[in-house]
Structure formats: C-alpha cells, structure tokens
Structure 1
Amino acid sequence: MPTAPQTTDELYQALRENDRRPYGRTRTVTAEELVDAAEQFADPVALVHALLELQEAYTYGSEPRKSPVVFARLLTLFDEQPDVFDERLRHMLFWRFKWVANALRALPEIPLASLRQWLTEMRDRYEKAGLGLQPYYGQAYLLAAHVGEDTALAYELWAGRTRTRLSDCEACEICERALHHLAAGDDERSLRVWEPVLAGKESCQEEPARSVSHALLPLLRTGRTDRARELHLAGYRGCRRNPSMSGEVGRHLEFCALTGNEARGLELLAENRSLFDEVHSPLDQLDFLTGVEVLLQRVESLGHGELPAAGHAGRTWTVAGLRAEVRGRADDLAARFDARNGTTAHTDRRRARLDRAPLLDALELTLRPRTLDDVTPAAPVAAPAARTAPEVPEPLPELVLRARALEEQGHPDAQACWARLRSLVTARDYTHPDDPAVGPLVRLRADLLAEEAGRAGEQDEFAVAAGLYEEAAGLYDDAGEPAHAVLARACALVAAAEAPAPDSDGPEAKAAALTAAHASLVRLHEEAPDLTPYQEARLLRLRATALGLRLQASGSEGHVAPVLAEVDQLHAFATRHDIGGQISGARLLRASTYALSGDLPAAVTEVDALLDRLKAHGPAWHLPRTLGLRGRLHLGLQDARAAHADLTEGLRLAAGWPADAVGTARLHGDLAETCMHLGRPEEALRHLTRCAELDLRHGNRTDAFCAYGNAAQLSLDLGRVEDCIALLDSLLAEPDVAAGELDDRLVAQLRLTRARALHAGEDLKAATVEFAALAAESAGWDDDPGSHAMIAAETAVLLGESGEFGRAREAADQALAAHARAPRYEQLSGCLRELARLQAQQQGPAGLAGALAFLADAGRVADEAHEAGYRTRGRSLETALAYEHGRVNAYAGAYEDALAALEKALALLGEPGPERDRAEEWAEEWAECVRLAGAVEGIYLERPVPALARLDAAVARLTALGHPEETEPLTSLAARLRDED
C-alpha cells in the first residue's frame, strides 16, 4: 500500500480496491496494513470492516491459523459494542462462526475437545441471538465426517432441518450432501444431487469448482466421459493457482493420472508449483499432496521416474524424488490428523486414493493431447504405425554407403542413416574405417554438415543453412571431392538468397538476390569439373528452383518463361539419364510455375500426368506431396470436394514415410482449410491440431504456434471456450514462450485470443486483467498502432462491462489516439457505441453525459470514415450511431431525444425490400429499430395511437416481403399497447 489512508473515506476506498484483488499474499498484507490504519481512527465501524476484510483474506488465502484470531477480536467488539454492528455486520459476524469451525478443523494441533467446545459456543450464541440451528448442525456433521465417525445421525440432524439465512449457500450444501452419498459408494445418487451445481444453476465463490473436482471420478465410473472431460476443463480453470482450493487442484491431477493424461498432469502440476509453499492449511495440504502423489506414482510406474517435475521451490526435482518427498509429508499429515481425531480415517482415505487403478487407458482431455514420451527431453519421435522403421545397417562402411545412395535418390530413409552416423561420429571412441569406398573422415563430416544444412533450410533457417553448406564445401575440397564441393556451394547460394537481408526492401530485393544467385549457379555449372549425371541434375534443379523462387517473390509475368525453360532443360536431362526423382521434381516445378502464373487448369493437367508416372514408376514417396499440390490446386479452382479427396489420399500414403520428409504437417494444414470450405469445422480443428503438433515435434515452432493459434480461434468460434483456454494455457506455458524466445507479436496474438475466450466464458475479471496488460504492452508497438487501437478498444468495453467507466474512458482515449495513426473505423465505432450503451444501461440518467461523450467520439470516427471514402459491409456508421443514440437516451429516460434519434436511424436505413443486399439481415435491423421506436413512443411517451400506426405498417410491410419471424416482436408489442389502452 503506497500511503496509509488519512480518512475513513480513504480507508473504505482502499478496502474496496483490495476486495478486487485476487486472494493471496498481496491482498493479505494489504488487509493487515488496513487494519493497522483503521485502528488510528476513533471509528469502531471502520475497524470492524477492516477486520472482516482481513479475516476473509486469511480464510481464502489458506491461512487458517490466523482467521480465528481476527474473529476473536470481532467477537469481543460485538460483546462490548453491539450497537456498532448493524443488521448486515451482525449477519456477517454470525456467518463467520462457520469459517472459524472450518479453520480449526484444518489444524491437527487443535485438540478435538476444542473443536467440540467451539461448536458449543456457536450453538449457544445462535440460541441467544434467536437464530435457527441448522448451520450449527451442518458444522457438527462436517466434524463427524472429518473425524470418520458414523455420520448417519449427524447428517439427518443437519440435512433434515429447514435452511435459515445463515445456512451455507445452496451450492455448498448440495456439494456436502453429494459427498455424503459418494462416501457411501453411491455414485449415481451423488451425481443426481450434484446436478444443479454441475449444470451451473447454483453457484458461489467456490462452486461449482469444488463440486466438479469431486464429481470427476464418479462421472468416469458411470460412463459419462464426455461430461467429465468438459467439467475438468472448466473446473480446473476455476481453482488453479488458488491456495484455498489446492485440494481441488490435487483432484484434477488425480483425474489426469487415472485417464492416461499423465503428461497433462505434469503440466498442471508445474502451473501450480506455487501451492507447495503458499498453502498453509494442513488439511488442504494433505488433500493437495495426495493428489500430487497419485499423479507421480502413476508416472513412475510407467517407467518415467527420472522425468523433471515441478515441486517445492529451491531445488530441481525428478518425478521419483518429488514423490518420495510428497509421500513423507502427506503420511505425516495424515498421521497427525488421525492422532488428533482418534481414528484412522485420513490414512485410510489417502490409501484408497493411492490404490485406485486407472479408470481409462486414454481420454483426450484437450486439443493438445500428449504422452509422457512427448515431454521426455530429447525423446525420439515414434515411427508411423503403417510402416516399420527402416533397417539401418550396423557395419559402418555399409551404413555410410547406404546413406549416400539413399541421399542421391532423395529417399526419406536417408534421415535415419544420417542420424545413426551422426551419433557414431560424435562419440569419443569413434574410429573411422580404413576403406577406400568410404573415403576419409573429412568427407563423411562434409556429408553430415550438408545433411544438417538441408534440415536447417527446411525449417526456414536459411542463413544457418548457407553457412553450413559453405563449411561442407570446404571439407569436400579437403577430401578431394570438387564436384560435391560445387553442389554444396550451389545450395549455399540458393539458401543465402532466400535469407532475408537486414536492410532488404521486401520482394524486390529478394527477387534481385535470386537473380544474382541464378547467374552464379550458371557460372558454377559451366566451370564445374566432371559431374556425374546425378550431380548435374541436382545443379539443374537448383537453377530452376532459384528462378521459381524469384517468380514466387516477384509475381512478375516476365519471370514465368525463364523458369519453364530451366525446368524443360532439367526434365530433358533427367529423362535422358533416367533419374526418376528429378523427372518428378521437374514436373512438380512446372506445375507450380503454372499455378504461380495463374493457369490452374494447366497446373492440374501437369500434376495429373505426374501422378500417373509416379504410380507406374515411382518414387512412391513423392506421391503424398504431389497429391497435396493437386489438392491445393483444386481448392484454388473452388472444388473443395476434389481437394478433400486428394489431400485425404495424400495423408493416407504419407503414413508410410517419416512425417517431415513427405510434408504430413502441410497436408493436415491444407485439409483443415478444405474442411472449412466444406462446412466441417470440427474436422478442420482436428487437422489443425495435428498439423501443429507435427510442426512442434520437428522443430518448426513458429509454424506450430501459428497453427495452434488458428486452432484456438476456431475452437472459440465453435463455442468450445474451455478447449480454447486450455489449449492456449498449455502453449503459453511452453519454456521458450515463458523465456521470451518466441516472436512477441505471435505470443500477443495467442494471449489476445485467450483474453477473448475468457470474456466469452464469462470470466470478466481475468479477461479484463489480460486485456489491460496487452493494451499496456501494445502501446509501444510503433510499427502497428492499428492493433493497439483494437486491443485498447476491447479493453475499454470490458472495463465498461465491469462498471469501471473512468478506466474505460482512459482506454478509449488510447484507442482513439492509435486510431488517428492507423484508422480502424468500423471496429472502433462499434466499441465506442457499446461503451455508450453500457454506461447508459448501468447508470441511467447519471451516466448520460458520459455515454453521449462516447457517442460523440463515435460520430467523429464516422465523419472521418465518410471523408476517407470508407464503406461498411452492412448499415452505415451514421445509421448505427443514430440507433445507438436512440437506445442510450431511452436507457437514460430522455425519451423525446430517443425517439428523434430512432426516427433518424429509420430514415437512414430506409425500408427493407427484395432489391437490397442482405435482405434478411436488413429486415431484421429495420424491424428492431421500429420496435424500439414503438416502445419509446407508445409506452414511455404514452402515445399509443401513432406507435400502433407505426407498428401495424411495419408488420404489413414485412409480411408482404415474406419476413414472418421479424414481425413477431412487433405484433407482440402492438398487442401489449392495445391491452393497456
């Protein structure tokens, strides 16, 4: 707290601000300081409010040892100065007797007799105050259940009583009744009792998150796996990183362990690492640690005990090491509770959880399903199921020769051979064979460098690739292999031309670099020593590739013919020497050139001929990529069904080869786009996530995060809000994201999508925090003020929804300032109008001035758009503004102004008609404007006759145009006006 409050007004303001903070150390420390400040005022009411805030901070900050101490001060104040407590404060005081009972129960050092004595105190106080005893019997039942006594009588004494104003909320009581049946082994009955909470009909601060965590396993045991998955996603978000709900987090970890989602469990454990140090409630600790141990025990039993795990701060943990630590702590806690209670209940319950067998082998919980192998450092990627891994010869000379032969063919299995050779050559005890067929070690090192350069180029690391190729060329020279050195230098030329220059001027500079590279390639070719046919074909392919890349960069029609000339030369040479891979490559280049020039039918014809050849003569591994190209061509020709067939077949054939060698990720990405054209978004979502995960496994992290970002946006568009949030939480927790190694704008886009998903999921507080952070960061994006304008505008709307119109005004001003540099007319106008509506709706006449100020800004944006010649897709900005003036004035009670604005909106809209674009949408907007004008005129201005004339004319017009649905609200309003008249 920067400065202590100097007046009680400042104290109350500080208390309100602290109430908006999340529970945790910051809120608790501030509450302690506010109690110190309140003690300086001669105002016992202010002190009571400060003490109540402090007790709440301790209770929900998982500090049960301190909560009863604060309550004792409150109780003393009540006994000494009962008049200080008005009805509301008195209610809060008696409510919190239950908080103290819960706190004492959570502390094993408090004797059982003291717990019973406190309940007696509660009963006596309630009886003296004339309050119903149902809350007391509820606490008596909870104590019996905690101790492990027979709860039948205690349950009936509580559950059979009529609820009072001091009873726990409906949601909390539902949870306790359901847990009673769950303890008796009746899953079905417990789920029936829980349904109002699980369905969202009853809720409170801790519900439904608490109930969800307990209901997950009963849902699985009764076969409701989809429901369990759905509730896990939503429920976990409601309790993560929350010290007072650490037990709930532990049950989500247990759920992951029992459904084949151990990797997700470790991910969630890492996200909640702070709970090891922030949970000061022994009972919550026991619950949390037991859930952690269930997860770690499962991971270790699967042979992954050496995996890293997130545990107590201050040291590095493995799964096995953390499990041993957690087991010791949890066993000690259970023993302490049992010693206090005189039973074995907590040890028995803990053992039952640890002894549970997995309920499912695999349940896909998120859009990013991963196994323990995926999170194992340097874990090898499993070979596709449709094809066994290639046999790698063990004798070293045979392995080297096979790798080189496969490399000449462009065969995907060369990867495995080079990987094996790399591990052998880098070993300390490596001895190079003295074999003339293999050649010297320097030649093999050159081969490995060239292969590494090729992989770098595939990941668009062109500068790295160019450097590696140059290094390989030098080694080839040293090895007496000048022809191979020429090829390596040729590859370096193309890679260097593809690498973006620091001060390049976009496509023109790249086209110029590729022109120069092609000229250098021609000279290299002319000056090259004796080349084998394979080597000469490679050089010809590189020449054609350079010109193809130039065409792609420039889009110039004049660059088409040179590419086709080089391709013809390559094709003729490869055909003459029967080099199948290069024949295929030439035809692919030709088809791509036709496509780039806009002649898609010619490209399809070329690909059709190539597919016929590949099916007859091979190479078979070219089929997936070729089918992928034809699929993209069909998509360009608006034939999504044919595209889907090609891409699906390409994906089927790709299963027989290493994914990165045949472009499996690209096939999934193209299929996702095709599925969207076919109106199959769920299928598109599956392909997007598979594309992303393949890119991630093969090191293409930027492509992977882009694909995952698209998947997140699509899941949000589909209404799968929790899927979207869970996916983005997983991505944003990746080490390179947390370390700031990924492109900051890409990360910002992921966070923006997450913030929108939080808003859609009605987590307004979390969404506003994220939007505000993004708005602050994007303010420094001098190269992209338009994005800042939109982020600031969306932030303003969220602040408006929360009723914080002062902060909303500041954010809107930021948006307007950025908009002046990079206009976003339609989007910014919409945000300003929404802010005006929110302020008038929430504040009525008191908010009219602020609302009209927002509309004035929207009016200036509309004027700017008009001057710039900007045209909207639907109704004009002026029309939308007039309509909003009508709504805002109506909310504020300025009905004459509201009617005048709506009349203007109707005039600007014009009557609907069949000749209008978007006739259905237009009719709907016009009908709503008529309805609101009729309500203002007929109800609030009490002029039913002109209002009815307006409504009847509109109904007749819409009926004649064939829009019966749009007439329903109008006829309903007309009927109401006639009844009232």
Structure 2
Amino acid sequence: MPTTAPQTTDELYQALQANDERPYGRTRTVTAEELVEAAEQFGEPVPLIHALLELQEAYTYGSEPRKSPVVFARLLTLFDEQPDAFDARLRHMLFWRFKWVANALRALPEIPLAGLHQWLTEMRDRYEKAGLELQPYYGQAYQLAAHVGEDTALAYELWAGRTRTRLSDCEACEICERALYHLAAGDDERALRAWEPVLAGKESCQEEPARSISYALLPVLRAGRTDEARALHLAGYRACRRNPSMAGEVGRHLEFCALTGNEARGLELLAENRTLFDEVESPRELLDFLTGTEVLLGRVEGLGHGELPAAGFSGRAWTVAALRAEVRERADDLAARFDARNGTTAHARRRRARLDRAPLLDALELTLRARGLDDVVPAAAGSVPAPAATAVLPESLPELVARARELDEQGHPGARACWARLRTLVAARGYVHPDDPAVGPVVRLRADLLEEEASRAGEREEYADAVSLHEEAAGLYDDAGLPGHAALARAGALLAAAGLPGEAPGDGAQDGPVADAGRDGGARVAALTAAHAALVRLQEETSGLAPYQEARLLRARATALGLRLQESRSEEHVAAVFAEVDLLDAFATRHGVAGQAAGARLLRATTHALAGDLPAALAGTGELLERLKTHGPAWHLPRVLALRGRIQLGLGDAQAAYAELSEGLRVAAEWPDDPFDADRLHSDLAEACMHLGRPEEALRHLTRAAELQLRDGDRIDAYCTYDSAARLSLDLGRVEDCIALLDSLLAEPDVTAGEVDDRLVAQLRLTRARALRAGEDVKAATAELIALAAESAGWDDDPGSHAMIAAETAVLLGESGEFDRARAAVDQALAAHARDPRFEHLSNALRELARLQAQQQGPEGLSAARAFLDDAGRIADEARTAGYEAHGRPLDAALAYEHGRVNAYGGAYEEALAALEKALGLLGDPGADPDLAGEWAESVRLAGVVEGIYLERTAPALTRLDAAVTRLTGLGRTEEAESLTALADRLREED
C-alpha cells in the first residue's frame, strides 16, 4: 500500500501500475480502494476511470463478486455523463467488463433470476446502441442457461454458432465453455477433443489452462491417460492453490486426489488452502470448493480415518468427521439457495453426482513423495513406529518375558516386538507382576525395559537420553542382584556419553552424524580413547559374566576403537582395532556366541575399508556372507550385503554394487523388526543407479530413502535426501514433480514453525526457485530468489552462499530486463565473494548478465554490459592468482568468447572479432582437449558470422570456416562441423 496518497496524477498512474504488479488479494484490493479515494481528489474523470478499473479488477480476481458490480455502475455512470473521457482503449475495457458483472451476479444467490436477465438485457441494449456484435451477449446468455440448468442446448447453439468478435471471451475460455457443454452431456471424448489446444498449452489466459485442467482431470483419467492426468494435476494445482478466485478449481483437485487413492495428499493440499474456508466471498466458488472438500473428507472417513485432524474453518480444531459434517451442511445450504433462486434442482443434482462418484483408481502415484493416511499425523518427537511382528507372540506374560530375554541374548531382532508388548502390559493400569521365579522381580523387568528403551534412544542419536536410561537401568540391575546386566548397561552409557551409537561400525550405526556437534575431531578421539579404557576396566572389575555378556563387553570395546578410527582415519589406530576384533572373534567362536562372532568379522571388514584396503574388506565380507548363509545368524545378512555394496562402489564396480545392495534390500524385508538402516541401502542403490545411467530408478530409491528417514524420525536427513531427489528430478526435466515435492516439504509443520535449520530450508527454497525458473515461471522464481538473497545477506558465517544466491537473483532480474536491480544484486554478490570467493559462479553470472543486457538493449546497453564483463575479468584474474581451476569452461576463454558475443550484439563488430580471436587462442587446438572442441567450434562459428555477415569479409570468413571443418572432421567431431559447414554454404550462396 502507498505510504502517502499520490499528490499528482502522474504519481497516481505510477501507483496504479505498481499495484497492478501485485498478486491478487487483500493487499492489492485495499490499495486499489485507497487509490480510488486519491483519484477522486483530482476532480478529473480519466484518472478516476483508471482507478475504478483497477479496483473492479481487484474485486473480480480477489473473489469479491458483491463489490464488482457496484464499481462498474460508477464506471457506467461516468460513461453516460462524459463519454469523451473514454478513449478507444477505455471504451473497449468498459464493454468487456459487462461480462464480468454478469459472471459476478450469477455467483450471488441473493440476486433474483429476473435481475440476471435484466442485466443481460442491459448488456444487449448497450452493445446494439454502440454498434457492437452480440456474440459476447449470447455467450453470457448461454452461461446463465448452463448455470440454471435449463434450455442449454438452444442457448449453446445461439452462442457457439456465431463468429467471435473483439469483445468475445478469449479463445481459451470459450474452448473451456464448449468442452464443459459436451462434458455435461456425458461425452468425454468430444470434451477432450475440444480441450486439446488448452491442455496442450497452445491457448491460455489469466485463468487458463488452470480452470480447464481442473475440469478435465477426471475425463482424462476415465480415458485411461493416467500419466497425462498426473502431469495436469501437478501443473494445474500449482496455478490455482491458495487463490480465493479459483477455490472451485482447488476443490476439483481435492476431489481428484480422493478418487485416485491419494487421500493423504488431498489432506495436505486442504491444509495448504485452509485460508479459503474464510477468504472466499463468492458463494459459487465456495460451493465448488466445499463440494470437492466433502468428496475428499467422505473418502477419508469411509476408509476408517474420521478422527484424523483436518484443516477447516478458523476458530476451532477439526477432525475429518466433524469437518465433513460442517462442510456438508454449508454446501447443502448454498446449493439449495442457488436452486431456489433459479427455480431448478441443477446445483443439488450436480453436487450429488460428485459426492456419489466411486474412486477411479485404487492408487495413482501423483508425486515423488509417496504418503498414506497413516503418514498424515507426524510421529511425536523421539517416538519410533511399533515394529511389525514376525511371529506370534506368547500369550502368557512369563512366556513372553522368557522369549524376550532369550532373543535379546542372541541379539535377535525379534526381541523388539516382545519388549514392545511387555512395555504395554507393564504400563497398563492395574498391572500385577507375577510371582514367578522365571520372571524374577519387577525391578529386573523394569530394568530390562529401560535398557531396551536406552538402546532405541541411541539408535535415534538421542545420546543424553540414552545415557540417563542406561544408568537408571544399571542401578535397577544392581538392586536386582544382576552385576553382569548392570555392566552391560554401564557399557552402553559409556558409549552414549561419548556421543556414539551402541553399535559397531558396519552395523549401520556409523551412518548418522555424531551427536555432539560442538565437539571437534580431536576431542571425539580423546573421548573414544577414554571410553575404551573405561570399558576395559569395567570388564575386568565385573565377575561372574555369562559368555554372551563377556562377548558384548568385548564388542563394546571394539566398537569404541572402531569409531575412533572412523573419526581419526589415522593409520596408528588401525592395529588396536584389529587386536580387539581378534579378541572378540576368538572368544565368541570359542563360546558359540554366533551373533558376536559375525559382528567381529563384520567389524574386521569395516576396519579394512576404513584403512583403505578395499580388496581385503571385500574378501572378508565375502567369507562372512557364505558363513552366514550356511550357519547364520541370518539377520546379519542385510548389514553384510550393505557393506559389500558400499565397498563395490568404492572399487568402481557399480553393477556388482547394485546386485549386492538389491539383495540386501530383499533380505532386509525378511526382518521387519530389525532397526537396520534400510534408508542407507536405498541411498547407496541410488548412487549405484546413477553410475549405471539409470537416473529414474535412482530417483525412486532416493525418495524411498527419504520416506524411511522421515518415518524413523530422522527429519533433517529426510529433508536433505528429499532435496537431492528434487534436484535429480529437476535434472531429469521433471519440473512439476520437483516443485510439488518441495511445496510439500516446505508445508511441513516443523518447517513452517521455524524449527528446521534455516540453511536447510533455504536450500529447499533455492532448489524450488530453480525449478520455477526451469518451468518458465520467472516471476515466481525471481520473487523467491529476491527473498532468499535478502535473508542470506545476514549469514555472516557463510557469505559464499549469499554470493551465489545473489548472483542467481541478478541473472533472473536480467532475464526480466530489470538491469538496475540486477546490478544492485550482483554488487551484493561481489561484496560477499570478496569475503568467501565463488569464482566460477560469479563469473558465469556476470557473463550471462552482460549477454542479456547486450542482447535485449543492443548498442544502448553495450556500456553497461561491458561493465559486467570487466567485473568478470577481475574475477578471472583473482582466480588465476589463487590457482583456481574451473570445473566447467576455463574462465579466461569463456570471458573472451563473451566479449565477442556482447560486442556483436552491441554492433561493435571489430572488437567482437578481436575478442573471438583471443578466445580461440586461449582454447588452443581442439584436438588437445576433446572436452573443449564444442566451445572451440562455437567460437569459430560466431567469428565466421561476425566476419562474413556483419563485416562482409566473405573470403577470410570462408577460409576460417573451411579450415575448422577440416580439422573437426579429422578429429571425428562431425556434429560440431555441421553448423560450420551450414554457415559456409550460406556465405557462398549470399556471395
């Protein structure tokens, strides 16, 4: 909104133009109202007409149909009183907006039907008096008939059979009306044929193709074109979301989700559009929105999830069932009001038809983020999903306790389900502990449960909780007279206190970040050394240990040293790990503790890998794999296969890695109770797929990995993995998939509440901005980058990231022709670059800005474009001094080429040719570096254009081109030679 009212008509027009660039919504509408008040002060009709037109547009597209006709009445009065104030353009806009008023009146059930017909008569009379063709009038008459549900065939023929005029609705809007006529008649095929130009993007306007897409979703699906329906949903929803004037379109997307097995996504989209419940002022749009919402809610409730939370009208918290009842009541009332006004039952019939539709598909994968209704409510912090039982649990508590302890001694993953069941029983009100020697005292059972809970806390990397729980369990074991159990609990506390998982490397524990981010590497190494010494003392001081307990303490000792090696990567730490592993292996083998023997061999292989001896690591895992297949325990197989796959990746054998990792996933599915990190398997498989040239499969594994991380409560890791998936989908050209995924993540409660690291959220937003740019939504991409650049300016600890974001922002501003703002943004980038250099990124941005300005402005922009190149030249000098080598094109050669292109755009052809000669000299012979052959050929081509066409020196240009063609052909680079041959042929023809 303007801070002060415009004092002159020039200021008013400037304010109107600025307001026109705002998105539709309350801010734009309020500003338009204030500008009308300002215009009235000048006492001149023309400024007031412009202000009123802007206000009517704000009301129309801001979903306030009750106010639009009032504004138009003022315009019509001005036209009647001062027709000369309306030039040809204003007159055209006035007569165009008769249709806006007709549409607004139809949307209001309180307007009598006679009033609608009266307005159409007014429109016809005005058009005839002005000598205008009546096709637009008949278009509105048809739309009224379709709205009422009577005499539509005749009204359609009277409209559709007439020739379009300058005042007709745009082609895209009329296509939609024709398609809807066929759709209402039950002719999907004809409707889709009519819609084809709009759905294919050949016809569009402000509301199209989003409006047509929302109606076409179900017909496209019924035609079996599922991939097209999916793509239309992603693109169409993004164009209408959160838009009060397109609430009906949002409702149809919700309905589409409900009918394709995507109820969870539907609830997510409903939450994203929760403001529409209170912001939509158009009863017709609200009816469409509420009906689509009711379809979704009815489907969710029918699947047995009526108690799920749902976003609804403000003022209270809603469940699906309660919101559905409220929505049904309000929508029934709206439909009844329209039908009462129209004297038909059309709206109730249409509404019932939508509500009675059966799902069209059981499941259609709409987005990269697969979610079910069970995923709608995020797990509470620190919670872990209950494990799936692999076997029927004993019914009696003594048998259940015995089974849990037996499996726990073996290290069997099935113990987890037993402990989960026991935890529920013990926590139940009125629990009575059995007087059974086999079960032991209640204090021991409580210690067992605390110890298992501590282990789960360690898996979640909640080390402070793990320490506390382990120590509490140790105290209870002491009370129960079980020193061996107490020693194991204290061993767990020692490892957790060092900020480390309670599993050895190779068991998946090393995959997560170290908990104590504030502790540097040296301190961690020291902490691990101290933990190992304490574990040795603990074992020596504890008597009466059972073999499995002794083995576990030996395993803890080996774990501490293995993780120390992982932290330090020091050769001097390798031997100590092998020594501990040998002790563990010998003891476990001698006493038949199979699980710990397998763990020792796995840790040995991991140590070889950490020490850089990948062949020895591979051989060790191979031997262990055969032993496990023959003798077990089988639940170690996923870990061994995962490690072998990572080793194969390290050895460069992606095919072998893929086979091992795929088998690991298959085997892991046989042990659903095992907390093994299957997400790491999927991530490694994604890497293997990329090496094998299978990016689509890699994308599926990345999204699966992120989904598992999210379900396990590893939200930060999940967001990082999802961002990798989003960037890969963008590289694959799946732009809408990328945007939909990121929109979903950015709407997560912890993200919107500011609970996620701001740099991670910024990375998600940056990827989204790049996707918007790739999808040619430059305005939205620029707005996002400008916001990110402003936020990142305060990152004093990371100026390099700000430099890159500001540089990208500058380029997008340049693409929009806003070079003054682009200059300011790139100056910010240069200032940040001076603190934390980003040579290549800044150089690329500056060269691109120079090209854009010269291309768009020609000679007038040459001086400013050269200034960008001067900055790029300084960066190239800095990079050379710093010994920096570009990952892409050499900076000096790229800069010389850009000087050539920019000068050519600016008409400085001699300078352009000299710059291109320099570029060719810097690139050297194309045979010396095959990677630069394409750039060399392009420099030759542009030099040929400048020399032969602009400077009209045909002979030397042909000599240059022919020599280059000969050289490239000799190198086998026929594709690069083709463009030069075509240019040479053109020059010969013109000569």
With 618-627 and 537-546 compared, the bigger mean Cα shift is at: 618-627
Q: Report if aligned partners of 1:621, 1:662 keep a CA contact under 8 Å in 2.
A: no
Aligned counterpart, 1:939: 949
Aligned counterpart, 1:366: 367
Take 1:694 and 1:68, find their aligned partners in 2: how far apart are those partners?
54
Partner of residue 744 from structure 2, selected from 699, 710, 730: 730
Taking a change above 3 Å as real, the CA distance of residues 81 and 844 of structure 1, as seen in their structure-2 partners, is farther
**Aligned: 1:964 with 2:980:** no
Aligned counterpart, 1:818: 832
Take 2:976 and 2:913, find their aligned partners in 1: how far apart are those partners?
21
Matches within 5 A, 1:165-180: 165-180=166-181
| Corresponding residue pairs, total | 975
Take 1:645 and 1:588, find their aligned partners in 2: how far apart are those partners?
19
Taking a change above 3 Å as real, the CA distance of residues 396 and 818 of structure 1, as seen in their structure-2 partners, is same
Aligned counterpart, 1:99: 100
Q: Report if aligned partners of 2:416, 2:673 keep a CA contact under 8 Å in 1.
A: no
How far did 1:526 drift?
1.0
Aligned counterpart, 1:568: 582
Take 2:138 and 2:538, find their aligned partners in 1: how far apart are those partners?
93
Partner of residue 748 from structure 1, selected from 747, 759, 762: 762
Deviations 1:478-531 (A, max 9, x none): 222222111111111111113568695622221111011111111111111211
**Aligned: 1:206 with 2:216:** no
Deviations 1:166-192 (A, max 9, x none): 211111111111111111111111111
Taking a change above 3 Å as real, the CA distance of residues 891 and 150 of structure 1, as seen in their structure-2 partners, is same
Deviations 1:521-556 (A, max 9, x none): 111111112111111100000000000000000000
Matches within 5 A, 1:577-596: 577-596=591-610
Aligned counterpart, 2:963: 953
Take 1:791 and 1:640, find their aligned partners in 2: how far apart are those partners?
35
**Aligned: 1:897 with 2:898:** no
Matches within 5 A, 1:524-535: 524-535=538-549
Amino acid corresponding to residue 943 of structure 2 in structure 1: A
Take 1:13 and 1:479, find their aligned partners in 2: how far apart are those partners?
83
Aligned counterpart, 1:545: 559
Aligned counterpart, 1:507: 521
Take 2:673 and 2:179, find their aligned partners in 1: how far apart are those partners?
49
Take 1:896 and 1:786, find their aligned partners in 2: how far apart are those partners?
37
Deviations 1:56-85 (A, max 9, x none): 111110001111111122222222222322
Take 1:382 and 1:471, find their aligned partners in 2: how far apart are those partners?
24
**Aligned: 1:712 with 2:713:** no
With 960-969 and 526-535 compared, the bigger mean Cα shift is at: 960-969
With 198-207 and 73-82 compared, the bigger mean Cα shift is at: 73-82
Q: Report if aligned partners of 1:622, 1:662 keep a CA contact under 8 Å in 2.
A: no
Aligned counterpart, 1:806: 820
Where 1:238 maps in the other structure, the secondary structure is helix
Q: Report if aligned partners of 2:188, 2:219 keep a CA contact under 8 Å in 1.
A: yes
Taking a change above 3 Å as real, the CA distance of residues 771 and 339 of structure 1, as seen in their structure-2 partners, is same
Q: Report if aligned partners of 1:402, 1:417 keep a CA contact under 8 Å in 2.
A: yes
Deviations 1:5-54 (A, max 9, x none): 22222222222221221111111111111111222224432222221111
Amino acid corresponding to residue 655 of structure 1 in structure 2: A
Structure 1: runs of 5+ lacking an equivalent? none
Q: Report if aligned partners of 1:588, 1:607 keep a CA contact under 8 Å in 2.
A: yes
Aligned counterpart, 1:447: 448
TM-score (norm 2): 0.96
Aligned counterpart, 2:842: 828
Partner of residue 787 from structure 1, selected from 776, 780, 801: 801
Aligned counterpart, 2:879: 865
Where 2:326 maps in the other structure, the secondary structure is helix
Amino acid corresponding to residue 583 of structure 1 in structure 2: A
Aligned counterpart, 2:251: 250
Deviations 1:572-604 (A, max 9, x none): 000111001001000000000011111111111
Aligned counterpart, 2:571: 557
Q: Report if aligned partners of 1:660, 1:698 keep a CA contact under 8 Å in 2.
A: no
Partner of residue 786 from structure 2, selected from 752, 772, 776: 772
Aligned counterpart, 1:268: 269
Aligned counterpart, 2:983: 973
Amino acid corresponding to residue 774 of structure 1 in structure 2: L
Aligned counterpart, 1:303: 304
Where 2:675 maps in the other structure, the secondary structure is helix
Q: Report if aligned partners of 1:855, 1:885 keep a CA contact under 8 Å in 2.
A: yes
Taking a change above 3 Å as real, the CA distance of residues 475 and 782 of structure 1, as seen in their structure-2 partners, is farther
Taking a change above 3 Å as real, the CA distance of residues 128 and 957 of structure 1, as seen in their structure-2 partners, is farther
Take 1:486 and 1:381, find their aligned partners in 2: how far apart are those partners?
26
Take 1:875 and 1:146, find their aligned partners in 2: how far apart are those partners?
61
**Aligned: 1:916 with 2:926:** no
How far did 1:902 drift?
2.5
Q: Report if aligned partners of 2:461, 2:515 keep a CA contact under 8 Å in 1.
A: no
How far did 1:289 drift?
0.6
Q: Report if aligned partners of 2:65, 2:281 keep a CA contact under 8 Å in 1.
A: yes
Aligned counterpart, 1:886: 900
Q: Report if aligned partners of 1:383, 1:658 keep a CA contact under 8 Å in 2.
A: no
Take 1:124 and 1:901, find their aligned partners in 2: how far apart are those partners?
67
TM-score (norm 1): 0.97
Q: Report if aligned partners of 1:449, 1:468 keep a CA contact under 8 Å in 2.
A: yes
Matches within 5 A, 1:584-663: 584-658=598-672, 660-663=674-677
Where 1:781 maps in the other structure, the secondary structure is coil
Take 1:501 and 1:692, find their aligned partners in 2: how far apart are those partners?
20
Take 2:105 and 2:95, find their aligned partners in 1: how far apart are those partners?
16
Take 1:664 and 1:769, find their aligned partners in 2: how far apart are those partners?
39
Where 2:240 maps in the other structure, the secondary structure is coil
Matches within 5 A, 1:310-709: 310-376=311-377, 389-498=390-499, 506-658=520-672, 660-709=674-723
Deviations 1:84-129 (A, max 9, x none): 2222222222211111111111111111122112112222222222
Aligned counterpart, 1:195: 196
Take 2:6 and 2:874, find their aligned partners in 1: how far apart are those partners?
41
With 79-88 and 691-700 compared, the bigger mean Cα shift is at: 79-88
Matches within 5 A, 1:64-75: 64-75=65-76
Q: Report if aligned partners of 2:657, 2:688 keep a CA contact under 8 Å in 1.
A: yes
Amino acid corresponding to residue 947 of structure 2 in structure 1: E
Deviations 1:848-868 (A, max 9, x none): 333222222111111111111
How far did 1:316 drift?
0.4
Take 1:419 and 1:373, find their aligned partners in 2: how far apart are those partners?
20
With 615-624 and 122-131 compared, the bigger mean Cα shift is at: 122-131
Q: Report if aligned partners of 2:413, 2:673 keep a CA contact under 8 Å in 1.
A: no
Deviations 1:223-248 (A, max 9, x none): 11111011111111111001111000
Aligned counterpart, 2:940: 930
Where 1:562 maps in the other structure, the secondary structure is helix
Q: Report if aligned partners of 2:389, 2:417 keep a CA contact under 8 Å in 1.
A: no
Where 2:498 maps in the other structure, the secondary structure is helix
How far did 1:142 drift?
0.8
Deviations 1:112-167 (A, max 9, x none): 12211211222222222222222111111111111101222221221122211221
Amino acid corresponding to residue 153 of structure 1 in structure 2: L
Take 1:799 and 1:689, find their aligned partners in 2: how far apart are those partners?
33
With 107-116 and 804-813 compared, the bigger mean Cα shift is at: 804-813
With 781-790 and 655-664 compared, the bigger mean Cα shift is at: 655-664
Structure 2: runs of 5+ lacking an equivalent? 501-513
How far did 1:664 drift?
2.0
Taking a change above 3 Å as real, the CA distance of residues 89 and 692 of structure 1, as seen in their structure-2 partners, is same
